[in-house]
Structure 1
Amino acid sequence: MAVCAVIGAAVMASVDEIVFHQILGWHHFYDRSTSGVGLLSDGLLHTAELLALVAGFFLYADLRRRRALASAHAWSGFFLGLGAFQLFDGIVDHKLLRLHQIRYGVDVTPYDWAWNIAGLVLLLIGVILALRAARRGGAGPAS
């Protein structure tokens, strides 16, 4: 489950970086300095997410090779990782540390609600899948 949680967090970080930082250009990972520092912070975030993704898939492949991967646990871990990254970013990065906001020049309240509710929904999906897998005894290794 932990391996797939790493993959899930890396995927969500990638979505955040690609969509909100690059395509929409709403913010950088660190917006409290110059735009050059913002771009550098985006590059460091992108590096970390790619390293986590590659490491996660190597570990995932090893679990599959050893036939030690339970697909139900893998999916629950993936969704837990997606939701955990989203909520951490929305609460810690946006509100506590104030590294950046989702968007500037607008009332961020609806964006904050949407961002954090989406993260909570993803997290709850992971919890539900984990509970179902636990009740079924782990659902056995994936083929």
Structure 2
Amino acid sequence: MEKDTVNSNQASKQINRHLYSRRNLWSGILFGLGLIAFFDEVVFHQLLHWHHFYDLSTTSVGLISDGLFHAFSWFATIAGLFLFADLRRRNALWVTRWWGGVFLGAGVFQLYDGIIQHKVMRIHQIRYVENVIVYDIIWNLFAVALIIVGVILTFKTRRKETVGGTVSNDPS
């Protein structure tokens, strides 16, 4: 009887994981985006003083932009954690898929920042030095590495159609 309950709980968990598959991914994406934005803001803006979120105006405007950026990162992080808590409550947390989302969110934000904000919009550079290209390459390669890890983890959690039309689920 006890073994049937365990098997039933496992089956229920597998079903819930797939019902909430997108929510697992989005929870991770929001958390990863917020986490990397928070890290960027604290390390590069506050501790190292390399740049502000918006460097095309006065220092005061730059500090205000940093504050808004910081608030955005916290809202994304908290939203991701609220979704995470809801997934746990529903017994639908799919940790591998969630981590895939974390890496995807962090990597996509990092790449967006490195290409769009740094080079296209030019609202700030990573660092104002003569050989900024070295910083750009490292910044963007790190972003691509995060995205690759996220894609691999997410790919591992996809649904697999088998012969006969049934769906098999990855247990991780």
Q: TM-score, normalised by structure 2?
A: 0.78
Residues 57-76 of structure 1 correspond to what in structure 2 (within 5 A)?
Answer: 57-76=81-100
Match of 1:113 in 2: 137
Q: CA deviation at 1:71?
A: 1.1
- Among 34, 37, 55, the alignment partner of 1:31 is 55
Q: How far off is 1:12 after superposition?
A: 0.2
Counterpart residue identity of residue 143, structure 2: G
Q: Which runs of 4+ in 1 moved over 3 A?
A: none
125 and 105 in structure 1: CA distance in 2 versus 1, 3 angstrom threshold: same
Maintained 8 Å contact 1:102/1:111: yes
Q: Say which structure, 1 or 2, has more relative contact order (CA 8 Å, 6+ apart).
A: 1
Is structure 2 residue 163 aligned with structure 1 residue 139?
no
List gaps (5 residues or longer) in structure 1. Answer: none
Structure 1 CA distance for aligned equivalents of residues 171 and 74 of structure 2: 30
Aligned residues, how many? 140
* One-letter amino acid matched to 2:32: G
- Which of 50, 54, 64 in structure 2 is aligned with 1:40? 64
Secondary structure in 1 matching 2:147: helix
- 3-state SS of 1:30 partner: coil
CA deviation string 1:38-77 (max 9, x = no partner): 0000000001111111111111100110011211111100
Counterpart CA distance in 2 for 1:2 and 1:138 is 19
Q: How far is 1:130 from its partner?
A: 1.1
SS of 2:32's equivalent? helix
Q: Deviations over 1:20-51 (max 9, x none)?
A: 00000000000000000000000000011111
Q: Percent identity?
A: 49
Given residue 30 of structure 1, which amino acid in structure 2 is its aligned partner?
A: Y
2:41 aligned with 1:9, yes or no? no
**Greater gyration radius:** 2
**Which runs of 5 or more structure 2 residues have no equivalent in the other structure?**
1-24, 161-167
> Aligned-pair distance for 1:137?
2.4
* Correspondence 1:124 to 2:148: yes
Quote the offset at 1:138 in angstroms.
4.3
Taking the TM superposition and a 5 Å limit, the aligned residue runs for 1:81-120 are 81-120=105-144
Q: Distance in 2 between matches of 1:120 and 1:32?
A: 27
Distance in 1 separating the partners of 2:114 and 2:149: 18
1:139: how far off? 2.9
